[in-house]
């Protein structure tokens, strides 16, 4: 499937609450393929949410397996439909970036371990526990589904937001 253009802040769709997927059909499968292709095309991207390509459905993909921070601890490619975090523990501050906010990175506090439920593309309910970088990436993408950008969670606008030197 084709790589989709990524919406950039302050596009209004990025601030919308996404709708639950009621039926997993070919349209959802195509959306997931588009998300995966778009993620792989993005420089250093480890995830993308449907809202970032203009679709307000609760679908996102994450794959930290090729990133140096996630190589040792990951579930591979996660294609998540209607994801829901059911448990959190730990807290750490990590520097985050986003394809929708390409000119900045920021320090964000996130849980270091999460448990979540989601439907996979076959409709099967999955429950996983993710930790460290993978947990952060999942929380970042799930925020997109709630209309929240990392800019909304930066620890301090004065000391925790940085202009990106290169992308």
Q: What is the CATH number of domain 12-163?
A: 3.90.45.10
Catalytic hit among 22, 72, 96, 141: 141
Tokens found for residue 50: 């449907």
Rounded-to-integer distance, Cα 39 and Cα 4, Å: 9
**Which of 2, 21, 108 lies closest to 60, judged by CA?**
21
Please report the pLDDT score of residue 94 as a whole number: 96
Please report the pLDDT score of residue 129 as a whole number: 98
Catalytic (active site) residue 141:
yes
Q: Positive or negative, the Cα torsion across 126, 128, 134, 140?
A: positive
**Domain residue spans of the chain:** 12-163
Please report the pLDDT score of residue 59 as a whole number: 99
What are the Cα distances from residue 34, in Å, to 29, 65, 92, 123, 133? 9, 19, 31, 18, 23
Q: Is 90 left (phi over 0), alpha (psi -120 to 50) or beta?
A: left
Give the 3-state secondary structure of residue 60: strand
Give the 3-state secondary structure of residue 138: helix
Q: What is the mean pLDDT of each run of 10 residues along the chain (167 residues)?
A: 93 98 98 98 96 98 96 96 98 97 97 98 98 98 98 95 84
Rounded-to-integer distance, Cα 136 and Cα 98, Å: 12
Please report the pLDDT score of residue 147 as a whole number: 98
What are the Cα distances from residue 138, in Å, to 2, 23, 25, 127, 163? 23, 22, 23, 13, 23
């Amino acid at each position: 499937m084709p790589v989709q253009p990524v919406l950039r802040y302050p596009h209004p769709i990025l601030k919308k609450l996404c709708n639950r997927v009621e039926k997993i059909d070919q349209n959802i499968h195509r959306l997931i393929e588009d998300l995966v292709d778009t993620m792989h095309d993005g420089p250093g991207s480890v995830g993308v949410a449907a809202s970032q390509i203009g679709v307000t459905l609760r679908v996102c993909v994450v794959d930290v397996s090729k990133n140096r921070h996630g190589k040792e601890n990951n579930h591979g490619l996660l294609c998540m439909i209607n994801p829901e975090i059911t448990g959190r523990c730990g807290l750490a501050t990590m520097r985050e970036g986003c394809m929708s906010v390409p000119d900045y990175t920021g320090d964000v506090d996130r849980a270091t371990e999460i448990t979540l439920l989601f439907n996979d593309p076959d409709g099967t309910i999955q429950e996983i526990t993710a930790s460290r970088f993978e947990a952060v990436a999942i929380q970042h993408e799930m925020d997109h589904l709630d209309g929240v950008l990392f800019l909304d969670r930066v620890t301090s606008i004065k000391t925790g937001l940085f202009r990106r030197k290169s992308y």
